[in-house]
Structures are given as structure tokens and as C-alpha cells.
Structure 1
């Protein structure tokens, strides 16, 4: 029995029909995530296509059809067709010639099965005909999808040796689409975990963030630590931090907050600023991400005592992170905006205080009282100034 892709908004896009006409319906297939997700009834925003045509031919045919293209990865056969409602990556069928765990030397092919054989998981090697929407399945991906099973194509260890990042991809895909751990995949990930050290830190950091952004990655991270995988990419994270991640995920759920990858990464680190800085540098995180990790690393037991005061000092985002990690109530911050301190140094000078350190000292003292009194009105701040000047 032939499985067909259910018709969805994206399969009915007019510009995709133009693309199919340009390349020919027998020489193009929808492939990968868009096919997998549509079969699962999930929304699919990224549309990928495979084609028998060489990249230069794809560009020429698209140009003739009035479709703009960008040679985004032309050395590896990928051309991007640009459309207003979402671009499409078109990749020439390929087969691996040589791999070293980080890079692959490829050759172009005319066979759909060759292209399917070089993909990572069976559920990602599903190809749909653009007109009939019939699905071609070369390695049992449809059965695995129905069973919610994530399985490498062929021998798991062989596939991981081709690209070491597939270890982390396995855990991410198994978290999102699986309901059990594949024994062969687990054994291969455990045995080959040390190979992760040879990968670019940016790739590791990006894949870790993708995993942590899923609804509940805590059981997976626990499994990764059991198999020795977590220790290779985040050795700073021990059993205590893994348990802390599980508590954080539960706290986010209770507070109706969306998953946040950086907050969860902070949970996987001890509250030590140099450690947070070292991890941010090693994983090539952005400056904003580094600042957030270090801010959360400064958390202490007093954070929960004055949530709005904490938010005023460190910002809403970091305050939420610290409160959640402390298991504290975050409701005082819901819908609350950080106020502006309603007093300027010039007003103190106008009251007869000479410019200089005394003005700064008064400002800081009154600001501390204003925070401690939970941000009263400007009238109260003026009273505080009067009191300070009178006492002085």
C-alpha cells in the first residue's frame, strides 16, 4: 500500500508548483523534515527538495522561470529558491565518497536511494513526489515514524563515524520524535562519545541549544550523562546540575513560561561566574548569551526575597532565571515593567548640595530606599530627599 502525503497549505503553494514546472516533476522530490512533520500532522515551515539536476542546471531553469536563486551551498549541491512565503533549499542528489567525522567529500548522483543512504535517520529519508504526494521509503522510515522510533540508517556506529555531530542529533531527534531509546544507537553514542571533542565548538553549542529548547529535555540530558556523552560536551555539569534542570523544567511549566535554551544551559552549570564565562567562550556563545549565563551564575539565596528589586537590578530576564532556579514565585514579575528611578542629580544640586560625591551618595541611598519600599511614587521619593537633606 502506497503512503501519500496529506495535502497541506505548503503542498498547495503556487510558487512550489512553479518550481516543480521549472525542474520537472520526475526530477524533484520533497524530502526530510517537511515530509516527516507533515506525516505526523505537525506544521512544517522549512521546505527542502532533492533533485537529479546539477546545481548549475537548477539555477538556469529557475532563472528561465523567473525564480530567483541563491547559491547557498553550491559546492555541496545546494541552491536556495527565494519566495516571499518561504524559501526552498534544493539539493542535488549525492553520495558520500569520503568522510572524516567532520566533513564529507561527495559526488553527485542520479539515484534517489543513494541520496537517502547518506542521511542520518530513517525518518529523515522520506521522499514525496511533488504531484502525486506518494512517499518513497527506502529504509523503513514510515514504520519507524508510526512506532515513534528514531533509528540510524544502517549501522549506527558507521553513521556516527561519518559525522560525529550525529551523536547529539540522535538525542535531539529521539527527544522530539521517539518514545524509547534505540539500543544500537545508544551503544554507538556511548562508545564514540569522545569523538565529539573533534567537532567545532559552534556546532556543538548550536546543537545543545536546539536540544535544550525542546519541551522537556531533562530525561534526555540524564540519559546523555549515563552514557558519558554530556561529560564530553559539558564536563562542568554533574548529577546535581542535571537534577536542577529537571526542577527548572517543572518550574517553567508551573509558571506557564516557554522553554528557554539559555536558562536551561544556566541550570546545567554551577553558580560560579568563571565557569559560566569559560563555557560561553568554549561554545562560542554571543556576548548577550555570555552575559546572561554569568548573571544567572551570580544567583544567591536572597533572590527570592524581593523579586521586583532583583529585576530592577539585573533585568527581567535574568531575574526570572534566578527565581525559577531558586524555586521561587515569579508571579510578581508577570506583566510588570521595570520602573525608572524618578530622581536626578540635578534636583539635588538645585537643593543646595555641591556637585560631586555627595550628590552620588544621596542618589544611591535614596534609590536603595525606593527599591526597599517597592518603588513608591515620585512624591514619596521627594519626601525621602527632604528627609535625607534634613538629616544631613
Structure 2
């Protein structure tokens, strides 16, 4: 009996019927592929929809235009077109086979053989196709059985698959964390360990992207332990060790207890030794965005015991304060309550109000404004009436000192 893709809301997104009509899916020219099929079979939410087709990419563009569907040639050299539908983009890729590969990029040729296309994919659970009209699944490498057993296997020889694209090492651990039941395929793990140095050939952006996806998985601990034991990250992140695993485990428990959503960047901070200078270096090495780098650094600066959570949040931002308080095991989680649904207010007074109180325009205004702000923060951000009183006191004190 042929297994079928369960019916689900995502299969009826606006525009999909028209898209499959344009691609001649009724004649077997187009199928769902990859993550949508995998997660659809598991009953998980499906966000990204990918379609594989026997049609040439230029033919795909022409057909979409005729059907009034916007087509963007996002990766036309690699056979990929993006169709813009009302509920988001859908990627359509022509069936391919690898001609040659150097571990970073592949030279491909188009094919009309579905099994050839499946053979160039990474894991058996990602090489599943589904007929969009009947839901019938095409499985060439035992992916359905592996999905049922929560078993993660490379297609064919693991070392050969990794040699085609070194990023598959990191993908292996991400998929293991998300879909594996922790029963390890030792040949796959050994192949990843043996090839770990090849990660150095990849761009730091690709490494960071894959690492953050792994850290965003609900339970990444077991996969991370295996990575540390196998020296997987040593070539690119030698700072990560067993102590980092303990810190991230503690953080995940604290996130859950505090009812705060997971953050991959916060977890990356936990994985690193608590050192802001090191965080800056790692952020630069992984080529994180300026915002991402700053968040890592802020998270790993020492908390100190003086500031209240709101004072800290006013200084470094709510996100930074939550990161720092969660990462510090000495901080009771109750301190986070002060930040729930709280936005740091702006000082409700400006230099003009101080000049109106008799100050001479110039550096004195900035100096007094700072003093007013310090007092306002120390009193836990009182309203404008109280701030007016603070300003009166500080201005008169300042003027007396000037006399």
C-alpha cells in the first residue's frame, strides 16, 4: 500500500492549486519535496514549501507568467525559481544530479529521473516526495521507515555525502537534535568526526546560520554533547567545551521555568565562556550581524549585584537584561518579573525645561540633565510630576553651588 501525505491546512494555501495547474502536476511533472513532506508525515506545522519538477527552470518561469503568478529567478543557475503566492514564497527546483562537487558548491545537470534527484540529497528523511493531488509518497531510500523509527541516516555512504557538502556535518547534528531519537548511526557519526576539519573550508556565515538553527531546536543538548565529544566544533569554535554544555543545559532549564521563549543567540552565549571580549571575537569570527554581535557581548558582561533588573534594562535594553539575568545562575528567576511587559520609559523632561528654570544654555544643561536622569532611574522611573520636583531640586542645588 502506498503511504499518503495526510491532508492539512498548508496543502490548501491560496494559489497552490493554480501553481500546480501551471506546472502540470496532474501529469506527474511536479511534487512536494523535503521538509514539507517530512514534517507533514509527522503532523508538524509546515512553513516552507518546496516543489521539485521535471520542467526546465526557464519553462517554469514562462508557465508561471502565463498563469499570472509572479516568478523570481532566485537561483535559476541552480534550477531554482521562487513563486510568490499570497501566503508566502514557494521554491520550485528542477530535478538535478551532481556532475562534480568540492564540498562547498556543486556543478549540476538537470534530469527527469526522480531517483537521481533523491540520490543527491542528504538524509533519507529529506528525500521524500509527495504527489500534490493524491498525496502519494515516493520514497527511494527508506525514508519513511527511518522517520517512523526516528532514525537519521545519510543517503548511501556518509563520507561521500559529507565530501559533497561539508555543511552536512552540522546539518547532521541539527536533524539529530530535532528528529533523531538519540539512537546513533555510528557510521554517520564517525564520518562527521573524521571530516570535522573540512568545516574550515566553509564560509563563516553558513556555519553560523546552521549552528544557530541547531541551538534553536527544543532539545539540542544530546547533539551538542556528541559534537563536543567528537571535536566537531574545534576547528571553528575551539572555545566550546563540556562546561559550555553544562551552562546551556542550565539556561534551557531556567528558560523553561521562567516561561521565556528560546533564543538561539542567548544559547550561543551560554555555550561560550562568560567573557565579553571573547564574545566579541566569536561574533566577529562567525560574521554575525552587528545586532547579533552586540547581543552576545551584552549577554556575557558581568551582571553585578548593584542594579535592579529595570535599571539594568534601561541601560542595556530589556532583551540584554533578560539574557544576562537568565545566564547568571546566582540570579533568582523572580527578578525577571519586574521586566515582564515592561518597556524602559524615556526621561519625561528635556533641556528646554531646565533652561526655563534658569540654567544657562551650554554644558551645564547636559550635566544637570544627567543628574536628573540618574535620580529618576534610582527612584525607579517615577512620573513627570515627580521628575519636575527632581529637576527643581537639582537645578536650585546646582545654582547655589555656582554662586
TM-score (ref. length: structure 2): 0.91
The partner residue of 2:340 within 297, 320, 334 is 334
Residue equivalent to 1:117: 119
Q: For the residues of structure 2 that align with 1:67 and 1:369, how far apart are their CA atoms? A: 60
- Aligned mate of 1:282, from 264, 285, 288: 285
Q: Are residue 197 (structure 1) and residue 200 (structure 2) matched?
A: yes
Instruction: Describe the superposition over 1:102-150 as per-residue Cα deviations: whole angstroms up to 9, x where unpaired.
Output: 0111111111100000000000011112222110111110001001111
Deviation at 1:381, TM superposition (A): 3.0
User: Which deviates more, 7-16 or 28-37?
Assistant: 7-16
> CA–CA distance in 2 between the matches of 1:31 and 1:19?
15
2: CA distance between counterparts of 1:244 and 1:291?
A: 20
What SS does the aligned partner of 1:336 have?
coil
Question: 2:350 corresponds to which residue?
Answer: 344
Unpaired runs of 5+ in structure 1? none
| Distance of 1:37 and 1:353 partners within structure 2 | 66
In the alignment, which of 31, 34, 40 is matched to residue 32 of structure 1? 34
Q: Does 1:186 align with 2:189?
A: yes
Q: Give 1:6 shift.
A: 1.1
Corresponding residue SS for 1:114: helix
The separation in 2 between residues aligned to 1:23 and 1:98, in whole angstroms, is 29
Q: Does 1:211 align with 2:214?
A: yes
**What TM-score, normalized to structure 1?**
0.94
Following superposition of structure 1 onto structure 2, how do residues 97-108 of structure 1 map, counting pairs within 5 Å?
97-108=99-110
What is the rounded CA distance, in whole Å, between the counterparts of 1:274 and 1:290 in structure 2? 11
Describe the shift of the 1:13–1:351 C-alpha distance in structure 2 as closer, same or farther (beyond 3 A): closer
Query: 1:59 is matched with which residue: 58, 61, 74?
Result: 61
Distance (Å, rounded) in 1 between the aligned partners of 2:98 and 2:209: 24
Aligned residues of 1:221 and 1:230 also touching (Cα < 8 A) = no
Mapping of residues 300-311 of structure 1, within 5 Å: 300-302=303-305, 305-311=307-313
Equivalent residue for 2:155?
153
Q: 1:376 aligns with which of 364, 382, 390?
A: 382
Counterpart CA distance in 2 for 1:44 and 1:57 is 27
Identify which range, 165-174 or 14-23, moves more after superposition: 14-23
Distance (Å, rounded) in 2 between the aligned partners of 1:30 and 1:139: 17
CA contact (8 A) 2:32 2:132 kept: yes
Q: What root-mean-square deviation, in Å, do the aligned CA atoms of Structure 1 and Structure 2 show?
A: 1.9
SS of equivalent residue, structure 1 residue 231: coil
- Aligned pair 1:260/2:260, yes or no? no
CA shift at 1:220, angstroms? 2.1
Paired residue secondary structure (1:120): coil
**Alpha-carbon distance in structure 1 between the residues aligned to 2:351 and 2:13:** 61
What's the CA shift for 1:27?
Answer: 1.5
| Deviation of the 1:282 alpha carbon | 1.6
Deviation digits for residues 350-377 of structure 1 (CA, Å, limit 9, x no counterpart): 3333344443333323322222222223
Unaligned runs of 5+ in 2: none
Between the aligned partners of 2:31 and 2:269, the Cα distance in structure 1 is 41
Instruction: Look up the match of 1:223.
Output: 226
Matches within 5 A, 1:2-81: 2-13=2-13, 15-24=15-24, 25=26, 26-81=28-83
Residue 287 of structure 2 is aligned to residue 297 of structure 1: no
Q: SS in structure 2 opposite 1:98?
A: strand
**1:163 Cα shift?**
0.4
